[in-house]
Amino acid sequence: MENPVIAQKAPCVKDMAAGTYYWCACGRSKSQPFCDGSHKGTGFTPKKVEITETRKVAWCGCKHSANAPFCDGSHARL
């Protein structure tokens, strides 16, 4: 499998309402940190995330987090 594109070397921090979201795993989406279908033809698939209550979320922007889709600080080592 190819490596994901590094969309940014920082988390994407957003206030999120409860709902279902699809986090971009490939790094190609123009709607970061969410999937826009740009992964088609790659070995990547978006990660479905259920947010149960309104909260602030630090989405992984570098696509290398061991805790994907959430930031774990991996961007500091890239």
pLDDT band at 78 (very low <50, low <70, confident <90, very high): very high
pLDDT reported for residue 62: 98
> Which pLDDT tens digit goes with each residue over 15-59?
999 999 999 999 999 999 999 999 999 999 999 999 999 999 999
Q: Is the dihedral of CA 58, 60, 66, 68 positive or negative?
A: positive
Q: What is the Cα–Cα distance from 5 to 21, expressed in whole angstroms?
A: 20
Q: Is the pLDDT of residue 12 over 80?
A: yes
Identify whether the C-beta of residue 4 lies closer than 8 Å to the C-beta of residue 63: yes
pTM over 0.85: yes
Q: Is the dihedral of CA 13, 16, 22, 28 positive or negative?
A: negative
Helices (H), 1-78: none
Q: Is the pLDDT of residue 1 over 80?
A: no
